[in-house]
Amino acid sequence: MMQLKKQIILFLCLCSFAVNAQNTYKRWPDIIRKSDAAWFATADAKRIAENVLLYQRDIGGWPKNIQMQDELTEKQKKDVMALKKRP
């Protein structure tokens, strides 16, 4: 019985590491903290700024929980443009 408990505890500990490993997207605060001021002049920074403006709604707000730094396909850009008029 003790052996089974030890195996279960070991399994749960290993699962907790695997769950963290699945987090592959980049968070905006992590990008900014690891970058110096010269980063803002790069093509990557320009692309992200264009995405932010693309996601901005006509009323001035933004949708929540969107990874705006991700690269968008042309289809995704068209879909985002179609949502600009939504409140």
In a domain, 34, yes or no: yes
**Within 10 Å of residue 80's Cβ, how many Cβ atoms?**
17
The answer as to whether 46 is a domain residue is: yes
Domain count, the chain: 1
Q: In terms of residue numbers, what domain contains 24?
A: 2-82
pLDDT of residue 22: 57
Report whether 87 contacts 57 (CB < 8 A): yes
32-to-36, 38, 39, 59, 69 alpha-carbon distances in Å? 8, 11, 9, 27, 11
Q: Which is it for the CA torsion 20, 23, 28, 31, positive or negative?
A: positive
Residue 12 lies in a domain: yes
Residue 87 is assigned to a structural domain of this protein: no
State pLDDT tens for residues 4-33: 888 888 877 776 666 655 556 677 777 777
